[in-house]
Chain A
Amino acid sequence: MKFETIENASLGEKLLFAKHSSGLNVYVFPKKGFSKYYAVYATKYGSIDNCFKAAGDNASTTVPEGIAHFLEHKLFEQPDGSNAFDQFSVTGANANAFTSFDVTAYLFSCTDEFYTNLDLLLDFVGTPYFTDENVAKEQGIIAQEIKMYEDDPHWRVYFNLLRGLYREFPVKYDITGTVESISQITPQILNKCYDVFYTPENMLLFLVGDIDETRAAELVEKHVRARGTEFERIFPNEPSAVAGDVTQKLAVAAPMFQLGFKDTDSAYGANSPLVGEKLLKKKLAAKIALEVFIGKSSELYTKLYEQGLIDDSFGHEVSFEPHYGFSTVGGESRDPKAVRDAIVAAIDEIKQSGFDTADIARVKKMFKGGFLRRFNSIEGIGNSFMRSIFNDIDAFSTLPTYDEITDDEINATFAEHFNPENMVLSVVEPL
């Protein structure tokens, strides 16, 4: 394996990259002066990948909701009955994993015995072990996890929103699935998903810290073999129209809401993925637009705050991925509908006037500072680069991209994306 170096002089950082013969892309981000090392081994496989067609199969396979998350839990279990967590504990490392809509990632941070831990990581993720017995036991544990999320108003208001925004696209399903859906999971289905999605071609390894890339490469060589074949992800067509507003009652003190906007750009969607520079630009333009529109420095935020309609739980974010995009604003409010109405009225005004150039410049400056701050954290570096790479985005290009995006592009993105017709209000009300 031969590493090439990607230098970034303005940040004073560099990234090493090599493609292993198995097809696995390996990245090393050298960070001297930090005590910790970080490794993330991830597959481009998340809760939305519920339907696929593997090469050689005649028909597509549809799997139960929540299986990616289930598989993540189960992969820690080893054939000798041990749990990979225990093995990491021997070296004092912090191991963890997470499943999102698009990615399943296995990771650890440690301050010692990095190569021992990397050996373990590559080994356990490469060794699936699913039996009827251990699957049944996991169903009990995850059912408890699902019950916990059912009580969590933040989680509920968010997933209710997605169910309101999306009629077909599987981002509408809870990442954990339901107690019912996970009860259908068997070792056979888990093996099938593993074989399709946990291939070197579909995965990447990202390492951060004061790392000897040659030693890391030796471990990749030891564990990773070319395996698996092509497959096709199958997504349903998502109509432009939203499903509608959602309200749920839970044990909360005050109403909680999320207001969402579904992106309905015709050049982008379930079956025409957006990646690379285009995706980055779209995402940053929406992020700037939303911040100028309703960030803490905006007139709208001030107005809503002074009217007592929002408090400092109020926040906003954009989620733009290759197959879907949406943005959310939300928090606690005594009157979520009044917040929505004020936002709709303000959208109209901005569409007439456009944003102020000085506000856009200020917000860009703020985001650039935030981007620089991310390099303070080895986990922050690992996670953000991992996500960017899966979407063919050069994370280093984020800073210059902020400068390149024009006011016109930001105004146009705002007008297109923040369309009240694609808007859904999700509310969790007190019992």
Chain B
Amino acid sequence: MITKQSLAENFNFYSLPHQQFKTNLLSVYIHVPIERETVTKLALLPAVLERGCEKFPTLADLCKHADELFGAAYDFGLRRKGDCAVLYFSLEFVQSKFAGENIAEQAMELLRQVIFFPRIENEGFLPEYVAQEKENQARFIEGIINDKREYASHRCAEIMFEGEAYGIPQHGYIADLSDVNEKNLYEFYKDIIGNCQTDVFFSGEFDEAAAIAQFKSVFAGEIAPRGRSAAPTAIAQAKNGEPKFVTEDMDVNQSKLNMGFTCECCPTVWEYFPLMMFNAIFGGGPFSKLFMNVRERLSLCYYVGSRVDRLKGIMTVGAGIAPDKYEETKTEILHWLSEMQHGNFSDDEINAAKKYITNGLESMKDSLFVMEDYTLSQSLINQKLPIDEFIANIQRVTKDEIVAAAGKIKLDTIFLLNGKEGGAE
């Protein structure tokens, strides 16, 4: 049973008991908005914090300490959740019965040090750490282009949600880096850790009461009310008129076609379950309409698939295609959407989709990380739907409901990363 305990206002402790793993997972999530003015600073924070804190002043010191904790694996980063993000600090460590020593308390202390006691000099982060991580961040942003599939998908979101939080890339902007310095970055960070909603997740096999007591004792100085609770995500609205179309040329063999659709579906309503079913039949599963037709039957592409962002109420389709196959592929994708809007899919496809989704949901139980993320996402929409009830809902979805969900789907944006002519046949 997942339990949530409020340690202070907007400061919660979630216990996720699981018996089957050899490790425990401890994570601290700080909920932050994604805003044009601050996103670049936000994106810089995890790397700067990893570089050093008072107790582990260099990266090597931190790594060595984690090694000594039986190879505890830490991960600090920024994870997008709809219009917002979480700044996360996770540590996975071997359970005491296998390690031969109790690591939990040291794990809590490690995270506390990294989050709350960064290395500070003259009211700012260490200047050389910030300067270097700015360079790394600039290179990282430039490097996104190396993964063309990822790049095309980013660009599609950017174009579809121009001027909105969802269109802001979570890695920030190179142009903004020059205004970031050790002092204003630290000011920004202090504001976040002092005021933004903070959720702690502890997963695995442990004694709940003892773990909470231990956490309260280790974080005694940090547990205090936070003024800003996690903000909700605005559902994408369907627009009138023609879809946006943007194309970019690049010297690559394979073109990437990305399409963004609005679904007009809130994450908390029943219609979400039919939408999820629609997506599985249309392009989400390995047996989907798009895969079986556009890839397998017509050999138009190497990959094609669709996914739904529940929080935002959108669907995106991505395909890797030969440069001369753009029109044909786009027409086929829209054709299969139209087919589904007209109810042209079979009971077999519905049953296969139900099984596919059920399998996916059941599988989530086998990962500490996935269950933690599921619980976090649930908390963002104020839902406490156990996986088994989620599965029961999927099982109850009817064909008419799927057709209704399909009927609300509307093409909004097309982005084409255009490969060189004659590059592939």
Is residue A377 contacting chain B, with contact meaning CB distance below 8 A? Answer: yes
A153 to B151, CA, bound (A): 14
Residue of A at shortest CB range from B302? A144
* Contact of A59 with B by CB under 8 A: no
Partner of B135, one of A86, A153, A308, A376: A308
* A301 contacts the other chain (CB 8 A): yes
Known: A254-B143, A375-B22. A140 touches B63 (CB 8 A): no
User: How long is the Cα–Cα vector from A198 to B250 in the complex, in angstroms?
Assistant: 42
> Once the chains bind, are B68 and A141 in contact (CB under 8 Å)?
no
A312 and B148 CA atoms in complex are apart in Å by: 20
Known contacts A92-B358, A311-B139, A373-B94; A137/B299 CB under 8 A: yes
Identity of the chain B residue whose Cβ is nearest the Cβ of A209 in the assembled complex: B366
Q: Does A267 interact with chain B (Cβ within 8 Å)?
A: no
A/B pair count, beta carbons within 8 Å: 180
Q: Is A122 interfacial (CB-CB < 8 Å)? A: no
Whether A109 touches B363, Cβ cut-off 8 Å, given contacts A362-B67, A366-B71, is yes
A431–B64 Cα distance when bound, in Å, is: 39
Chain A residues, Cβ within 8 Å of B69: 369
CA distance A378 to B365 in the complex (A): 12
Q: Which residue of B lies closest to A362 (CB)?
A: B67
A89-B287 in contact (CB<8A):
yes
Residues of A within 8 A of B145 (CB): 251-253
Number of interface residues of A (CB under 8 A): 70
Contacts of B365 in A (CB 8 A): 34-35
Interface residues on B, range: 35 or more
Q: For chain A residues 333-378, which have a beta carbon within 8 Å of chain B?
A: 334, 362-363, 365-370, 372-373, 375-378
The distance in angstroms between the C-alpha atoms of A376 and B371, with both chains bound, is 13
Residue of chain B at shortest CB distance from A150: B253
- Given contacts A147-B423, A251-B252, A299-B60, are A33 and B19 in contact (CB under 8 A)? yes
- Known A-B contacts A111-B362, A112-B359, A253-B145; A92 and B352 likewise in contact (beta carbons under 8 Å): yes
Question: Is B142's beta carbon under 8 Å from chain A?
Answer: yes
Most buried by B among A363, A369, A431: A369
Known contacts A35-B362, A89-B352; is-contact A431 B251 (Cβ 8 Å): yes
Looking at the complex, which one of A92, A144, A301, A306 makes contact with B132 (CB distance below 8 Å)? A306
| Known contacts A110-B359, A148-B320, A308-B132; is-contact A368 B251 (Cβ 8 Å) | no
- Say whether B169 faces chain A, with CB atoms less than 8 Å apart: no
Q: How close is A374's CB to chain B, nearest CB, in angstroms?
A: 9
Q: How far is the CB of A333 from chain B (nearest CB, A)?
A: 10
Check if A256 is an interface residue, CB within 8 A of chain B.
yes
Q: Which of B180-197 contact A (CB under 8 A)?
A: none
Chain B residues 315-357 with CB under 8 Å of chain A are 320, 322, 348, 351-352, 354-357
CB within 8 Å of B: which A272-304 residues: 295-299, 301-302
Is A90 a contact partner of B23 (Cβ separation < 8 A)? no
For residue A180, CB closer than 8 A to chain B, the reply is no
A90 & B355 in contact (Cβ 8 Å cutoff)? yes
Provide the residues of chain B in CB contact with A34, threshold 8 Å: 20, 365-366
Binary per-residue interface labels of chain A (100-143) against chain B in the complex, 1 for a CB within 8 Å, 0 otherwise? 00000000011110000000000000000000000001001101
Among candidates A88, A93, A332, A366, residue contacting B139 with C-beta atoms closer than 8 Å: A332
The interface residues of chain A lying within 8 Å CB-to-CB of B351 are: 90
Encoded as 1 (CB less than 8 Å from any B CB) or 0, chain A from 404 to 431 comes to 0000000000000000000000000001
Q: Which of A145, A148, A150, A378 has the most CB of B within 10 A?
A: A148
CB distance from A307 to the nearest CB of B (A): 9
Asked whether any CB of chain A lies closer than 8 Å to the CB of B277, the reply is: no
| Inter-chain contact A305/B59, CB cutoff 8 Å | yes
Q: Which residue of B is nearest A334, CB measured?
A: B139
Chain B residue, CB-CB nearest to A299: B60
Q: Are A362 and B356 interface neighbours, CB within 8 A?
A: no
Would you call B362 and A83 a contact (CB within 8 A)? no
Residues of B within 8 Å of A83, CB to CB, are 296
On chain A, the residues within 8 Å of B234 by CB distance are none
A95–B359 CA distance with the chains assembled, in angstroms: 12
What is the CA–CA distance of A231 and B385 in the complex, to the nearest angstrom?
A: 56
Smallest CB–CB gap between B148 and chain A, Å? 6
CB distance from B307 to the nearest CB of A (A): 16
Contact A373 B92 (CB under 8 A): yes
Report the separation of the CA atoms of residues A32 and B21 in the bound assembly, to the nearest whole angstrom.
11
| Contact among A93, A95, A144, A332 for B322, CB-based, below 8 A | A144
A91 within 8 A of B: yes
Instruction: Name 22 interchain pairs, CB-CB below 8 A, sorted by A.
Output: A35-B366, A89-B287, A89-B356, A92-B352, A92-B356, A92-B357, A144-B322, A144-B424, A148-B302, A148-B320, A152-B147, A154-B146, A253-B139, A253-B142, A295-B63, A296-B63, A302-B60, A305-B59, A308-B132, A369-B99, A375-B22, A377-B366
